[in-house]
Structure 1
Amino acid sequence: MPIRHPPLPDVWLISDARNDAALERILARLPRGSGLIFRHYHLSPEVRRTRFGRLARVARRHGHRLVLSGPPRQARRWRADGAYGSPGRLARGPQTLRLATVHSLGELAQADRARADAVLISPVFPTRSHPGAPALGPVRFRLLAGRSRVPVIALGGMTAHRAHAMGVSKWAAIQGLGERPTGVFSLHS
């Protein structure tokens, strides 16, 4: 019998060097039960592990799910709620929540074979992460999402406004998650 995971968060914050300084503040202001995907590829292994531990405490204090960018075995060792990465990286290892990055139909099929519990389809819109790179756009995103057998999380230039306009309930941001003085969240494109 497959292991059942708790429901997936609707809003996901993806960490890296660009948003590192604000992560604790943003995590404290995210709606309870959001998700954090910890990447931080820019850090040495030891510093990355220490930073993960600090953010894990903050995330858990606010009821957030915490997913590590890395193979499932590493996610287990670090006591993350799951693993994030390419379908190939997620294909082997112990049972844990698996979030796969997907950019095409071929990768969507690979994510299915890797037993992904959800896919992050990107880039929906142009992003600061990859200036000039082609984006899927809403129509191609919907076509790809319609072929998924698991929940879909929209990534790439996503904002709360864009998610609402597209009727997307699950979405993620890297740089754009910010806070207004009122505590209401907005995403900046």
Structure 2
Amino acid sequence: MARCYSVPVPNRHPSIPHLWLVSDARNDAVLEQAMARLPRASGVIFRHHHLSDGPRKARFRAISRIARRRGHLVVLAADVATARRWGADGAYGAPARLAQGPALLRLVTVHSHQELAAAHRARANAVLISPVFATRSHPGGKSLGVLRFHLLAAHARVPVIALGGMTRATARRLHTTRWAAIDGLSGESDKSPTA
């Protein structure tokens, strides 16, 4: 019976990268090295909420230059108008935050069927279904697991990116090629819980 949930999520939008490195205070010191290890044309989600506006914008510009030299897309955790103003390739966040604004790549985080429907209304180009597995970002938090991830992903009308506890090993376990991580793509062991 478990085999019926091991079908890979279809690749209906090949222009959406398969791997996404998510920036955070935890991986800032190794961010450049992590981007260099990503396959060309991967994605970087720039969060860096630990910085105030000026330093955050300066760090975003530095990371964007490096990422673009490697052919990576750079998406800013912000509303769509701010992402466009900063020169990002897209915006990342909750459906309500991304529902308005100019045409730009939208990556929307979802945790439930209700949020998935809201992501569709917000013109999401892809959804990050989270958290699939236990993460360091939210210790003790409830995760979806393989079955609930696939049940939710089956209702998505856009590409699905797995987030939460993702490493190369958990991506294989999940039977997906599209995934995002903080630690799992920053040089941490595949055996440790990641974000």
TM over 0.5: yes
Cα contact 1:178–1:187 (8 A) shared by 2: no
- Which letter maps to 1:53? R
Cα contact 2:90–2:107 (8 A) shared by 1: yes
Hey, what does 1:38 align to over in structure 2? Answer: 46
RCO comparison, higher one (Cα < 8 Å, 6+): 2
Residue 7, structure 1, aligned to residue 15, structure 2: yes
CA shift, 1:187, in A, is 7.5
Residue 49, structure 1, aligned to residue 79, structure 2: no
Residue 95, structure 1, aligned to residue 107, structure 2: no
Cα contact 1:123–1:156 (8 A) shared by 2: yes
Runs ≥4 residues deviating over 4 A: 185-188
Cα contact 1:69–1:84 (8 A) shared by 2: yes
- Which letter maps to 1:137? G
Output the CA distance in 2 between the equivalents of 1:72 and 1:124. 26
Residue 141, structure 1, aligned to residue 149, structure 2: yes
CA shift, 1:38, in A, is 0.2
Output the CA distance in 2 between the equivalents of 1:79 and 1:134. 35
Hey, what does 1:116 align to over in structure 2? Answer: 124
State the TM-score, normalizing by the size of structure 2.
0.89
CA shift, 1:178, in A, is 3.4
Determine which of 73, 79, 82 is the counterpart of 2:87: 79
CA shift, 1:155, in A, is 0.3
Where 2:26 maps in the other structure, the secondary structure is coil
Cα contact 1:35–1:66 (8 A) shared by 2: yes
Hey, what does 1:65 align to over in structure 2? Answer: 73
- Which letter maps to 2:80? P
- Which letter maps to 1:82? G
CA shift, 1:188, in A, is 4.4
- Which letter maps to 2:37? R
Where 1:24 maps in the other structure, the secondary structure is helix
- 1:112-161 CA-partner distances (Å, limit 9, x unpaired): 11000000000000101101111000000000000111100000001111
Determine which of 159, 163, 166 is the counterpart of 1:151: 159
Output the CA distance in 1 between the equivalents of 2:63 and 2:185. 16
Structure showing the higher helix proportion among its residues: 2
Hey, what does 2:178 align to over in structure 1? Answer: 170
CA shift, 1:177, in A, is 1.6
Paired positions, count: 181
RMSD: 1.6
- 1:50-83 CA-partner distances (Å, limit 9, x unpaired): 0000000110011101000001111111111100
Hey, what does 1:18 align to over in structure 2? Answer: 26
- Which letter maps to 1:115? R
CA shift, 1:93, in A, is 0.3
